Amino acid sequence: MKQVHYFVIACSFCLFGITLAGGYALHVVRAGDSIGAIANSYHLATDVLRDYNDLSSNMIYPGQIFKIPYVEARGGTMERAPTPPPGFRQHILAKGETLTAVMELYGISLESLVGANPNLSSLDRLPVGVELLIPPPEAEGIVITLQPGETLVDVMDAYRLSPIRLAKANAIRSPKDVKEGMMLFLPGLEPTRALERLAKVRERENRYVWPVHGRITSYFGRRNLGMGTSNFHRGIDVAAPYGTPIVASRSGTVTYAGWSNRGYGNLIRIEHAGHSESWYGHNSKILVTVGQFVNQGEIIGRIGSTGISTGPHLHFEIHEHESAVDPLSLLR
């Protein structure tokens, strides 16, 4: 028997041959079909197809008509997101929101947050819209996803957990509650590996690179001005030809870009993760604006001699916890 398809658009919008989510096609079941094979041919999960057609079982018959839902293309096969463990909530990271703010909002520790989200890519540079699992305030442990072929016995053996504690933490009452791909909360465990990995990521992300290469003409610290006078130099001076590009020593947001009456001349200030700052003084040209995000290595200005200066150079400062620190201790 030849397979027959009737494609019907319902509650959808078509534009230049592209069908947006909201419609469906009709599929007529033929002899030998199974609900799993039909779902797979349309890149759908079996339970999605079953739920969409209000089926109570996997029993189907030739001539039966299925609605095949259209889904909006998002770069891969549609899969139903696993349900978080009992008591866990979900939080969507908003623009300008940090993990520190999230932890304060929910009253949880960094260890708890990382344990619930062990695959985080960064502690400081997460994109807007990333979905975070939020554990209950008292929950300490890690969240894993049950892999294909993996059983609760495998999990208990690997992590040395008691079956009673594991079942209670995940509201498991019978073997039928355990499904492939489900999230499991493993209480009492520390996310040591995840924290170590993220610490290395933070170290790479938060390092400073040289904003310009040249000869250091003045170092950080107290300097003698002659005639028995001295002052404290809060950065380093790097001499370079007039107009040489100056790059951002580290990624961040420009908080100041303009003339300074404190001797810096044309000054650029960039705030980084953790509220540290880098300052770039005596620019001949400023190439960024306040509020602009700049990447590490991006050109932000050009060498000049504006302000109180004896020749073309960059005056460079790094501020940690609102205090100037020696840039040479942090530059790589």
Question: Is pLDDT above 70 for 6?
Answer: no
Question: Is pLDDT above 50 for 144?
Answer: yes
From 111-115, 154-158, 222-226, 315-319, the region with the lowest mean pLDDT: 222-226
What's the chain's average pLDDT?
82
Predicted pLDDT at 249:
94
Give whole-number Cα distances, 38 to 51, 141, 202, in Å.
14, 40, 46
How far apart, in whole angstroms, are the C-alpha atoms of residue 324 and residue 255?
A: 17
Do 183 and 220 lie in one domain? The reply is no
Do 228 and 186 lie in one domain? The reply is no
Average pLDDT of the segment spanning 219-233: 66
Give whole-number Cα distances, 316 to 15, 155, 208, 218, 242, in Å.
55, 53, 12, 10, 16
Expressed as residue numbers, the domain containing 35 is: 5-69
CATH of the domain at 57: 3.10.350.10
If one counts the domains in the chain, the total is 3
Do 197 and 263 lie in one domain? The reply is no
Predicted pLDDT at 176:
84
Do 199 and 153 lie in one domain? The reply is yes
Residue 76 lies in a domain: no
CATH of the domain at 294: 2.70.70.10
Residue 256 lies in a domain: yes
Residue 78 lies in a domain: no
Predicted pLDDT at 224:
59
Instruction: Tell me the pLDDT tens digit for each residue of 285-327.
Output: 999 999 998 888 899 999 999 999 989 999 999 999 889 999 9
Do 201 and 220 lie in one domain? The reply is no
Q: Quote the DSSP letter at residue 274.
A: G
pLDDT band at 263 (very low <50, low <70, confident <90, very high): very high
Instruction: Among 156, 174, 205, identify where a domain stops.
Output: 205
Query: What are the residues whose beta carbons fall under 8 Å from the beta carbon of 79, sequence distance 6 or more?
Result: 45
Predicted pLDDT at 223:
63
Burial of 204 (0-12, 13-18, 19+ CB in 10 A): exposed
Residue 74 lies in a domain: no
Instruction: Among 36, 69, 102, identify where a domain stops.
Output: 69
Predicted pLDDT at 52:
79
Average pLDDT of the segment spanning 143-171: 91
Residue 83 lies in a domain: no
Helices (H) and strands (E) in the chain, counts: 7, 22
**pTM here?**
0.49
Predicted pLDDT at 200:
80
How far apart, in whole angstroms, are the C-alpha atoms of residue 106 and residue 96?
A: 17
Q: Greater confidence, 258 or 137?
A: 258
Do 93 and 192 lie in one domain? The reply is yes
Do 201 and 219 lie in one domain? The reply is no
pLDDT band at 10 (very low <50, low <70, confident <90, very high): very low
Q: Is 11 helix (H, G, I), strand (E, B) or coil?
A: coil
Do 142 and 191 lie in one domain? The reply is yes
pLDDT band at 17 (very low <50, low <70, confident <90, very high): very low
From 11-15, 20-24, 134-138, 297-301, the region with the lowest mean pLDDT: 11-15
Do 189 and 222 lie in one domain? The reply is no
Instruction: Among 16, 35, 69, identify where a domain stops.
Output: 69
Max avg pLDDT among 1-10, 11-20, 280-289: 280-289
Residue 80 lies in a domain: no
Question: Is pLDDT above 60 for 15?
Answer: no
Do 201 and 105 lie in one domain? The reply is yes
Residue 113 lies in a domain: yes
Do 201 and 100 lie in one domain? The reply is yes
Average pLDDT of the segment spanning 211-215: 93
Give the tokens for residue 200: 């290395």
Predicted pLDDT at 7:
38
Residue 103 lies in a domain: yes
Do 302 and 270 lie in one domain? The reply is yes
